Amino acid sequence: MSGYLSIELDNLAVDPVLMTHLPAGLAAYYLALPLACEDGVVSVAMAHPENKTALAVLANLFAAPVVPVRAPATAIRQALSCCNPAKSPLPRRVLAWSSQDEQIQLAAGIAACFVPAEAETVTAMSASELDLESLLDVAREGRYILTVVHRPQERVPALLLQRAGTPLLLLRNGAQGLRRILVALRGYSADGQLLDWLAPLLQPDTSVTFMPLHADDTPGQLPFLLNKVERGHLKDCLHHPALRNTQVWVKLRQGQAVNQVIEETSQDAYDLVVIAAEGYGHLVSRIVTGVEEKGTRRQCSFFILKPPTNGEIGQPVK
């Protein structure tokens, strides 16, 4: 972690040409700010330069090697707000889908938590109206902010996890009571956005457990919170405004990231597992598949935050 150059952004100019290659949503997701291109190499200020998947995505976008430098998250957010002036927000639209026609109202009811204003809408469809693959196209093209998918019995296909262009809430049986929530922290900037999304689901009796995952999938690596920088990241997550009135626990496990989640859900009864994907969802897909194959004490629902890529940037590492 100490091997990255650190900079302040006060006196640095952002390259406007490079910014045209980096969608605003993706820049905010990774907290990344392109600074300059010299000799075919792009320097990028990042709050988390150790995020290997983000680096692979950025290198793909810029079609050039990327050299990351560390910069404060607050300074990057401020610079991004100057580069991307605020626009009138689009209506919050959520797409709800169920594999069973008679259960569509369950999915629609959960989806309504994310669109409280009267002007904001939930579109509900069932499998008899739209197949799962077509659902992905509708979600992407219809400017939906979230896709809620109810599959009470069927396993979640990898296609859904990897091709989705919006965040996904995958509901199982008993989804009406999402009271015991496991948040798998990746250790990067998207964790904060993940907690923003979690806020509408939090009730007075909700219990949230944070489980820090390894920064990569290397066996035997220590949990990220033992590092000074990422210890600060955990502290920021614990003090997130959405959790002000919520009981939060921290759980540590050794082993590979995928196995950490699989073992935790097999030994404790969670209603919902929450995790951010750093790329298209390959690691997340392995987690969901592993939890389903292991057989948990209760069927877990999943909330998966995806980078806002819409399939435009190739295949990142994981």
pLDDT digits (tens, 9 = 90+) for 208-246: 999 998 755 444 444 444 566 668 888 999 999 999 999
Mean pLDDT score of the chain = 84
pLDDT tens digits along 4-20? 666 766 666 678 888 88
Q: What Cα–Cα distance (Å) separates residue 23 from each residue in 20, 69, 117? A: 7, 20, 27
Domains 16-83 and 172-302+313-318 in one fold: no
Q: What mean pLDDT do residues 245-253 have?
A: 92
Name the class of domain 16-83.
alpha beta
Predicted pLDDT of residue 148: 94
Which residue did the predictor score with more confidence, 237 or 172? Answer: 237
Which residue did the predictor score with more confidence, 192 or 11? Answer: 192
Q: In which residue are the tokens 């194959």 written?
A: 293
- 8 A C-beta contact, residue 195 and residue 240: yes
Which residue did the predictor score with more confidence, 36 or 83? Answer: 36
Predicted pLDDT of residue 118: 63
Residue 318: band (very low, low, confident or very high) from pLDDT cuts 50, 70, 90: very low
Q: How far apart are CA 157 and CA 83, in angstroms?
A: 38
Per-domain residue ranges of the chain: 16-83, 172-302+313-318
Give buried/exposed letters for 198-224 (b at 16+ CB in 10 A, else e): beebbeeebebbbbbbbbbeeeeeebb
Give the predicted TM-score (pTM) of the model. 0.88
Q: How far apart are CA 62 and CA 60, in angstroms?
A: 6
Where does 172-302+313-318 sit in CATH, by number?
3.40.50.620
Of 86-90, 113-117, 295-299, where does mean pLDDT reach its minimum? Answer: 86-90
Closest of 268, 264, 269, 261 to residue 285, by C-alpha = 261
